[in-house]
């Protein structure tokens, strides 16, 4: 618990406003004390998008090579749908009154994390949905999930990325009706959002709803409470059940329903995964 509270205090310090005189207090963060863990898949030609997405990630070279002035210069243009690869679902994605990307508060994107590990259940059942019992089992070992935490669901699925058929359960173009992968169950999501009052939901699969879902109840529940989703995360197995500080900052797209993120975690070096 002490380690978790240190990370909560660190997140608060990072997000603290400047003092009236205009000088912000500097957080006593020693980078040497932490492992920096990348939770993000790269954006490239293999990036996994939802099967019905009209396109994928594109990068076009604008310049590359020596200039007339004798120095090297390179530049590219990029284009991408909002919802692909490691990305944020803003609440407006499934709620007309939900926040757009640029309006999601930073305190929901920079916060201490808890990691619910259902990788054993998911290995046995690719359509597994995390349950209230999974939350209770976690809390019996690690204590009550605190308000303001980012709740991450570890299924082990990121190891299948970017093999679309293995990761999504089906690779039929323009068809999302035969997908199979694990994620949150709606009752577990309701407990996390309404009772535990988490800041965000995150998962190492393509959706905070499980693959066969046709009506996306977890998305709708989260959006109705202005809770963002973090999808297609990576390397959650490197995080401890609690004690990591997650930073998941999206491209600040005004009016966006989603955006690519660079998600990272800070883990104290003595806080080995599984402890």
List, by residue number, the catalytic residues.
93
Give the length of the chain: 275
Token look-up 């046709």 returns 214
Please state whether the peptide bond connecting residue 162 to the residue before it is cis, i.e. omega within 30 degrees of 0: yes
Give the chain's end-to-end CA distance (angstroms, integer). Answer: 12
CB-CB contact of 114 with 241 (8 Å): yes
By DSSP bridging, strand 242-250 and strand 110-117 are: antiparallel
> Which of 126, 100, 138 shows the shortest CA–CA distance to 206?
126
Three-class secondary structure assignment of 68-114: CCCCEEEEEEEECCCCECCEEECHHHCCCCCCCHHHCCHHHCEEEEE
Residue 40, SS3? Answer: strand
Helix spans in 105-250 (H): 119-124, 132-142, 164-168, 186-190, 217-224
DSSP state of 31: G
């Amino acid at each position: 618990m002490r380690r978790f509270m240190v990370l909560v205090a660190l997140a608060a310090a990072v997000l603290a406003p400047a003092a009236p005189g205009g000088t912000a207090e500097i957080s006593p963060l020693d980078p040497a004390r932490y492992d920096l863990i990348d939770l993000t898949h790269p954006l490239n030609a293999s990036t996994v998008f939802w099967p019905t997405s009209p396109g994928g990630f594109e990068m076009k070279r604008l310049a590359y090579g020596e200039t007339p002035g004798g120095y090297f210069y390179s530049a590219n243009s990029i284009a991408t749908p909002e919802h692909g690869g490691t990305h944020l679902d803003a609440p407006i994605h499934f709620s007309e009154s939900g926040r757009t990307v640029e309006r999601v508060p930073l305190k929901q994107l920079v916060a201490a994390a808890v990691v619910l590990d259902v990788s054993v259940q998911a290995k046995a059942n690719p359509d597994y949905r995390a349950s209230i019992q999974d939350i209770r089992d976690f809390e019996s070992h690690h204590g009550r999930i605190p308000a303001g935490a980012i709740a991450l669901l570890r299924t082990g699925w990121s190891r299948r990325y970017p093999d679309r058929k293995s990761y999504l359960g089906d690779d039929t173009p323009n068809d999302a009706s035969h997908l199979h992968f694990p994620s949150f169950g709606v009752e577990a999501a309701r407990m996390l959002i309404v009772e535990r009052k988490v800041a965000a939901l995150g998962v190492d699969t393509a959706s905070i709803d499980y693959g066969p879902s046709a009506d996306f109840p977890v998305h709708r529940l989260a959006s109705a409470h202005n809770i963002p989703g973090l999808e297609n995360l990576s390397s959650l197995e490197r995080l401890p059940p609690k004690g990591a500080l997650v930073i998941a900052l999206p491209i600040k797209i005004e009016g966006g329903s989603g955006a690519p993120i660079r998600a990272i975690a800070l883990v104290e070096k003595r806080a080995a995964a599984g402890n």
